A and B are shown apart, each in its own frame.
Chain A
C-alpha cells in the first residue's frame, strides 16, 4: 500500500524565514513524488515534481529514498506563499493515480 504522511497540519513562519514542509512516503517500488499547492479560494495546482528537479517560486524538493522523504523547502518565505500544501505520490505503472497527504497549511506572517 502507498501512503503519504505530512506530520504538520499548520506551519507558521515569519516573512524572510526559511520554510520546510515535511513529507514522508511509503511505497514498495519507485514512486513519483509531487507537491501541490492550493491558494485561498483557488483550485489545487501542481507546484513541482521530483523528476523535473526544478525550483518553482523559490521552492525546491529533493527525493531522499533512504529516508523516504520529499520535504519542500524555501530559503526565504514570502507572504504570498501562504497556502495549503499537499504532498502526493504516484506509483509507476499506476495509471498516474495520486495518493495525497493530509496537507500542511503554511502561514507566513509579517
Chain B
C-alpha cells in the first residue's frame, strides 16, 4: 500500500515551452503532497508543499509563477514548469503524506527527469 506514481518518468522539451508533471497517490488519499528537486549528486531540495484545495506554500527562493502547483484532488497534484529553460533541467520528485504509525509519513514517487534543450 501507499504507492505514489509520477508521470512522465522523463521528458525532453525545448526552451520556452511548459511542462506538466503529475503526481498521484494510487491507493490512498493524500491531503498533503510535497515537490522536491534534485540536481545530480546533490540532495533533495523541497520546493513546495501542496495541500488539497488550497494554494501551495513555496520554499524561499522558489518562483511560484515559474513552478505552478495544483492540488485539485486528494490523489493528484501537478507541477507545471512554465517557460522552461536549460537551468530548469533536473530530477523532480513528489511525495504524498499518509498517516502511519502515529505520524504523517511521506511516500515518494519515482521521480521525473526533465531535460530542457
Contact = CB atoms under 8 A, between A and B. Distances in A.
A98 B43 contact: no
A40 interface: no
B49 A95 contact: yes
Contacts of B111: 43
Contact of B93 (A9, A44, A96): A44
Nearest to A102: B43
Interface in B28-57: 32, 34, 41-46, 49, 57
A98 B93 contact: no
A97 B93 contact: no
A98 B46 CA distance: 7
Contacts of A96: 32, 97, 103-104, 106
Contacts of B105: 46
Contacts of B43: 86, 100-103
Judged by DSSP, the binding face of A is: loop
A55 interface: no
A45 interface: yes
A19 B4 CA distance: 31
Contacts of A28: none
A52 interface: yes
Interface string A64-106: 0000000000000000000000100000000111111111000
Contacts of B4: 43
Interface of A: 9, 32, 43-46, 49, 51-52, 86, 95-103
Given A32-B103, A98-B46, A98-B106, 5 more contacts: A43-B111, A51-B103, A99-B46, A101-B43, A102-B42
5 contacts: A43-B4, A96-B104, A97-B46, A99-B46, A102-B43
